[in-house]
A and B are shown apart, each in its own frame.
Chain A
Amino acid sequence: MQDRPTAPELLDAMAADLYSEVREWVPRERRFRVLVLANLCAVIARELRAGEEPSRQDLELFTALSGSPADDAREAAATLAAAIRRGELDERLPEAIGRLREHVARKLEVARPGYAVSAGDG
């Protein structure tokens, strides 16, 4: 066990510092780089807080869709991707699209909370 702050708490502190003060020290045309780094700290903090649960849910979803067992989510994603490419899910494509929205929404909760809504124009 490490002392506090925890890893996500440290990342929160880094992100806050980068967003506010460090950004001001950097020449205007390079501030975008600082925002990228601050945003990455925030992404990692959210990923650590979410723990293993999203990957476990993806593993379950991918193996259910492809019908092939796998040891981890990455392997299951590769198997599913290849099965889709070969046309093996063509009969159930609307179902696969709907289920994979769940997977993408889970990634967005870590990478970009608030993005998983419909855009205005349709």
Chain B
Amino acid sequence: MGSIVTPPAEDALCAGVRELIAEGTGSDPGALRLSTIPGGASRETFLAESDRGRWVLRRDPVGAQDSFAPLETEFRVVQTAAAAGVPVARGLAFEPARGRLESAGFVMDHVEGTSVAPRVLRREELESARSALPAQLGEALARIHSIDARAIDGVATSGGDPALAACGLWEATIDEIGEPLPAVEVGLRWLRLNPRPPPPRECLVHGDFRLGNLIVDESGLAAVIDWELCHSGDPAEDIGWVCVRSWRFGNDDLPVAGVGALDELLAAYEAAGGEPPSMERIRWWEAMGNVKWAVICARQAHDHLTGSRPSAELASLGRRISEPEWDLLELLPAASCASRPGAPGSEQGRRA
């Protein structure tokens, strides 16, 4: 458990959260205790507990700048995803900035389980969860991708070409950081010169779909959380991202989040009404996912170096840039042909 919020802020925040839960559920939760849940990248997450139950508060850090999807948009996206059959932590009530939560925030149901990836991959009691996960992830992704993001107010658009938009976004971020990353640049250049054409249909993309943003219990996927990077784009982006080697936590031979085979995910994706992208498209986005993770590592280390977020943990990420760089360069020849002989997933490679 994280640290307890300091008293004066806690009183006002507790009262605000209590009112919102009462409004969202129709019954007063009673006096609440708040504790921070560590792990959020740019948004704060708190556990709110009383003898009547547990809830979660998600809010913008006070005084923070705008992030990718405004919190109100995230709240709307979670509600839309729930209606589309995606397992989520149900959103209860949203409060705008300068209201009862000081910054913008919303309260949601608390979902039991873990989002700590190494626990999901190693714990004995989660063994049957692990075997269910690849298909459950495929089904959840198909439902997310069935959503037309343009129908949700405030979701970032791709400008019509998600592949080129991603190239431009990460080039601009590298420039902001100011670190020379020649291996990332050469990968980005290859991706720019070999872009996938826009997908047949743009859809809602979660944007950070990996075990760290999923709650897993003993029966498998319990909720998809942390929607702050959601945007309109290519469905293959989420599939490529969940295959990035860094999210396998050492289970290198299990491409889907270290728990299973891509074929299994894609079969469930198709069975749930999704149209599986070609392997070539998935590999392109997996390579782009490695660009993204390398640049995020560089940015986190930069946040430490500039003193904006001093932390040995963030500093250490500067020395992990080389891992996604290696995987990026390894993927480039694979991305230029439909599939490698004998590789799992090669059957899908013969499609489209």
Residues of A at under 8 Å CB distance from B?
29, 33, 36-37, 39-40, 43, 62, 74, 77-78, 80-81, 84-85, 87, 89-90, 93, 96-97, 100-101, 103-105, 107-108, 110-112, 115-116, 118-122
The residues of A that contact B190 with a CB separation of less than 8 Å are: 93, 97
Interface of B, secondary structure class, is helix
In angstroms, Cα B189 to Cα A80, docked, is 12
Extra contacts, 14 of them, besides A81-B180, A121-B261 (Cβ < 8 A), are A29-B1, A36-B313, A74-B180, A77-B182, A81-B185, A89-B189, A93-B193, A96-B186, A107-B322, A108-B326, A111-B319, A111-B322, A115-B326, A119-B252
Cβ proximity bits B324-341 to A, threshold 8 Å, 1 near / 0 not: 011101101010000110
Please name the 6 residue pairs, one residue from A and one from B, whose CB atoms are nearest each other, closest first.
A120-B253, A121-B255, A77-B180, A122-B343, A78-B180, A107-B322
Task: Given A81-B182, A89-B186, A89-B189, answer yes or no on A108-B313 (Cβ-Cβ < 8 Å).
Answer: no
Q: Smallest CB–CB gap between A80 and chain B, Å?
A: 5
The 8 Å CB contact of A97, one of B171, B312, B332, is B332
The residues of B that contact A85 with a CB separation of less than 8 Å are: 171, 185, 188-189
Task: Given A100-B182, A104-B183, answer yes or no on A112-B312 (Cβ-Cβ < 8 Å).
Answer: no
Contact B326 A105 (CB under 8 A): yes
Contact B320 A112 (CB under 8 A): yes
In angstroms, Cα B327 to Cα A36, docked, is 22
In angstroms, Cα B39 to Cα A33, docked, is 12
The residues of A that contact B281 with a CB separation of less than 8 Å are: none
> B329: nearest residue on chain A (CB-CB)?
A101
The reply to whether the CB of B181 lies closer than 8 angstroms to some CB of chain A is yes
Cβ proximity bits B187-201 to A, threshold 8 Å, 1 near / 0 not: 111100100000000
**Residue from B182, B185, B186, B245 with most neighbouring chain A CB atoms (10 Å):** B182
The 8 Å CB contact of B326, one of A62, A81, A93, A116, is A116
Contact B189 A115 (CB under 8 A): no
Task: Given A85-B171, A108-B323, answer yes or no on A40-B312 (Cβ-Cβ < 8 Å).
Answer: yes
In angstroms, Cα B329 to Cα A27, docked, is 39
**Residue from B1, B190, B254 with most neighbouring chain A CB atoms (10 Å):** B190
The residues of B that contact A89 with a CB separation of less than 8 Å are: 186, 189
Q: Smallest CB–CB gap between B240 and chain A, Å?
A: 12
Contact B243 A121 (CB under 8 A): yes
Q: Smallest CB–CB gap between B182 and chain A, Å?
A: 5
Contact B262 A33 (CB under 8 A): no
